[in-house]
Amino acid sequence: MKVKSILLISILAVFTFVACNNQTTSEEKTGKPVVKKEVKSEKASDNMATSKSEATSKVSDEVNKTDSQDIKTGQKAIISTKFGDMTILLYDETPKHRDNFIKLIKDGFYDGTLFHRVIRDFMIQGGDPDSKNAAPGQRLGSGGPGYTIEAEFNPEFIHKKGALSAARMGDQVNPKKESSGSQFYIVQGKKATADELNRMAPRTGAIYTTDQIKTYQTIGGTPFLDNQYTVFGEVIEGLDVIDQIAAVKTQPGDRPVEDVKMTIKLIEE
C-alpha cells in the first residue's frame, strides 16, 4: 500500500494524512502531521482524530535530571545535503524503527531521494522513494517500501527541534498509529511556553518533565505531535541545516522549488 506523507503547520496543533490528489483537502486545511494514502475511487478520510486522554494530563513539575534524551549513545548516521550535514542519533529504545532505518540506509534506499515536503517553522519531510529523479512539479509523498512499522511511543522522546520522527497515515485508516516504512520528518517547530504545553496536554496525554518543558521553551518544537507519532531519533549536530532547508522557497504542495537531495550513511564506531 502506497503512502503519501504530508505534514502541515497548524496553530491548532494537529497533523493529518490526506488523499493523494491535486485538490486542497480538509486535512490540508487543518494542518496535521500525516502520511497520505493513495486512493483511486474513494476519498481518504478528511480528518485524523487526535488521541484524547480522559485523565487530567497537566505538565509535570517533577525534575528528571537523567532525561534519556541527553544521553548521546547508540547508532549514529549522517544525512548529507547541499546545505550541509546533519548527524542523527537513533534511539535504542525504539528498536523496530532503529533497525528498519539502519537496514534502509545500508540498502542505499534514501540516497538520491528528496526532502519533498518542507514547511517553515514546522518540519522537513523525506523518505519517499518516488522522489528519486522526480520530474519538476511532480506530486510526491505516496511512495514507500510497502510495509508499516508498529508504533513505539516513549514519553522520554518528545518532538523537540531536531526530533527524527516517522510519518504515518491518519487515525481513521490507521487506528494503531503504525508508522510509514520509510517516510520520516525532522522537526523545526517553534518555542512553546509552559502554559501552552498545559493546554495541549489534555489532547495528547503528555506529561512533561521540567527538563522537557525547558527544552520546548528554549529550542522549541511541535509538542502537539507528542504521543501521536513515533520519535525514534534526533539531530545531535547540524540543527542549522534544518533551518536552511526549512527556509527554501516552496511550490504548491510544499515541495521545494529547487530539489533538496539527501544521502544517508551510517557512522561506524
48-87 per-position pLDDT tens digit: 222 223 232 333 333 333 344 455 689 999 999 999 999 9
CATH number at residue 205: 2.40.100.10
Q: Which domain holds residue 141?
A: 71-267
Only one residue has cell 520520516, namely 184
Helix (H/G/I), strand (E/B), else coil: 157: coil
- Burial of 190 from C-beta contacts in 10 A (0-12 / 13-18 / 19+): middle
Average of per-residue pLDDT across 162-169: 97
Give the number of domains in the chain: 1
The Cα 90–Cα 15 span in angstroms is 23
Q: What is the pLDDT of residue 70?
A: 53
Mean pLDDT value of segment 258-267: 98
Give the pLDDT of residue 15.
Answer: 37
User: What is the percent of the chain with per-residue pLDDT over 70, rounded to a whole number?
Assistant: 73
pLDDT at 269: 76
Flag whether the pTM goes above 0.75: yes
Q: Distance (Å, rounded) from C-alpha 7 to C-alpha 233? A: 18
- In 3D, which of 29, 31, 32, 36 has the Cα closest to residue 5? 36
Per the DSSP assignment, residues forming a β-bridge with 85 are 80
User: What is the rounded distance in angstroms from the CA atom of residue 153 to the CA atom of residue 53?
Assistant: 15
What per-residue confidence (pLDDT) applies to 3?
A: 46
Tell me the average pLDDT across 95-107: 98
The b/e string for 121-160 (b: 16+ C-beta within 10 A; e otherwise) is ebbbbbbbbbbeebeeeebbbbbbbeebbebbeeeebbbb
Residue 173 domain flag: yes
Q: Count CB atoms within 10 A of the CB of residue 99.
A: 13
Is position 93 within any domain? yes
> Within a domain: residue 27?
no
Q: What is d(CA 18, CA 30) in angstroms, rounded to the nearest whole number?
A: 11
User: Quick one: cell of 216?
Assistant: 520546548
Greater pLDDT, 151 or 26 = 151
Give the pLDDT of residue 22: 32
Return the pLDDT at 96: 98
> Which H or E run contains 27?
helix 26-30
Instruction: Flag whether 194 is in a domain.
Output: yes
Identify whether 36 is part of a domain.
no
Q: What angle do CA 49, 188, 76 make, to 5 degrees?
A: 105
Q: Tell me, what's the pLDDT at 5?
A: 41
Tell me, yes or no, whether 23 lies in a domain: no
Residue type, 132: K
Q: Residue 129 and residue 250: Cα distance in Å, rounded?
A: 20
- State percent of the chain over pLDDT 90: 72
3 state DSSP class of 263? strand
CB 161, CB 219: distance < 8 Å: yes
Of the listed ranges 42-46, 93-97, 118-122, 212-216, the least confidently predicted one is 42-46
User: Burial of 85 by CB count in 10 Å (0-12 exposed, 13-18 middle, 19+ buried)?
Assistant: middle
User: What does the mean pLDDT of the chain come to?
Assistant: 81
Average pLDDT over residues 97-119: 98
Rounded to an integer, the average pLDDT of 165-170 is 96
Q: Domain for residue 61, yes or no? A: no
| 128: pLDDT strictly greater than 90 | yes
More confident residue, 31 or 29: 31
Q: Is the confidence at residue 206, as pLDDT, over 80? A: yes
* Residue 120, domain member (yes or no): yes
Residue 205 confidence (pLDDT) above 50 = yes
